[in-house]
Amino acid sequence: KQEVTQIPAALSVPEGENLVLNCSFTDSAIYNLQWFRQDPGKGLTSLLLIQSSQREQTSGRLNASLDKSSGRSTLYIAASQPGDSATYLCAVRGGSYIPTFGRGTSLIVHP
Amino acid sequence: DAGVIQSPRHEVTEMGQEVTLRCKPISGHNSLFWYRQTMMRGLELLIYFNNNVPIDDSGMPEDRFSAKMPNASFSTLKIQPSEPRDSAVYFCASTPRGLGANTEAFFGQGTRLTVV
């Protein structure tokens, strides 16, 4: 059974810092990995999708990498802003076709 | 497209009552997922449909929970009778046709259920 772990569970940083959020998974036989953002009381917003054959994806200040063989992905946030404060979730889709989620990293960026 | 649409957004009900949550997936998507999110357990898959057929319902907590997908554009999750421990946010998600690497999952805004 696929297990997904996200580290750290919580992070509080001053505005402007570059951040790295980590996601690890136990079964490397995946189709893709997706990073989401969730604001308090809201739904999940897709940030980036990395296909199993890809090494990284970029969108604006966000860059996600994937090392399938080691079962790891990182989400890099450049020049963090208070508006980046949210919970970040990664989801892995493998042979069962079911997106399996980590518990998320709760990020606070203070001015 | 309007995205995945869930209703109601909020539901408050008394213990023992029947609750029905609704989901309209994105048109053309053939896979639909129901998740439950709590502080204690995070996001848990309840049930997964592919082409309107339930494929994996191993996450459904007990017989009080049931889900249907009568057609490609509508699904329901029913709890009967409801209990306070069912209080959570319930999300519906859909993915496009095919199960390959580029199938991105899209989520609805969720239904916040409170059972008192």
Average pLDDT per 10 consecutive residues for chain A, totaling 111 residues: 94 96 95 94 93 94 96 97 97 86 96 94
Contact B34, B22 (CB under 8 A): no
Cα distance between residue A69 and residue A46, in whole Å: 24
pLDDT tier for residue B98 given thresholds of 50, 70 and 90:
low
Are A86 and A37 within 8 A, CB to CB?
Answer: yes
Q: Do A51 and B107 touch (CB under 8 A)?
A: no
Question: Between chains, do A42 and B104 touch, taking CB under 8 Å as contact?
Answer: no
Residue B99 reports pLDDT greater than 60? no
HEC sequence for chain B: CCCCEEECCEEEECCCCCEEEEEECCCCCCEEEEEEEECCCEEEEEEEEECCEEEECCCCCCCCEEEEEEECCEEEEEECCCCHHHCEEEEEEEECCCCCCCCCCEECCCEEEEEC
Omega before A8 within 30 of 0, i.e. cis: yes
Total residues found in chain B within this entry: 116
Residue-level pLDDT at A95: 76
**Structure confidence at residue B97 as a pLDDT band (50, 70, 90):** low
Q: Whole-angstrom Cα distance, residue A20 to residue A64?
A: 9
Mean pLDDT of B78-107: 87
pLDDT tens digits for range B22-37: 999 999 898 999 999 9
* % of residues, chain B, pLDDT over 70: 94
- Contact state of B99 with A31 under an 8 Å Cβ cutoff: yes
**Can you read off the two tokens belonging to residue B101?**
């690497």
The predicted pLDDT at position B116 comes to 97
pLDDT category at B96 given cuts 50, 70, 90 is confident
B90 touches chain A (CB under 8 A): no
| Residues of chain B with C-beta less than 8 angstroms from the C-beta of A32 | 101-104
Q: Residue B45 pLDDT more than 90?
A: yes
Judging by DSSP bridges, how do beta strands B88-95 and B106-107 pair with one another? antiparallel
Mean pLDDT (whole number) for B36-51:
93
List chain B residues with CB under 8 Å of A5. none
Nearest Cα to Cα of residue B15 among B82, B111, B78, B85 = B82
> What is the model's pLDDT at position B62?
84
Indicate the range of A29-33, B76-80, B96-100, B107-111 predicted with least confidence. B96-100
Please count the residue pairs, one from chain A and one from chain B, whose beta carbons lie less than 8 angstroms apart: 58
Residue B93 in contact with partner chain A when CB distance is under 8 A = yes
Residue B3, min C-alpha distance to chain A (Å): 11
pLDDT at residue B115 is higher than 70: yes
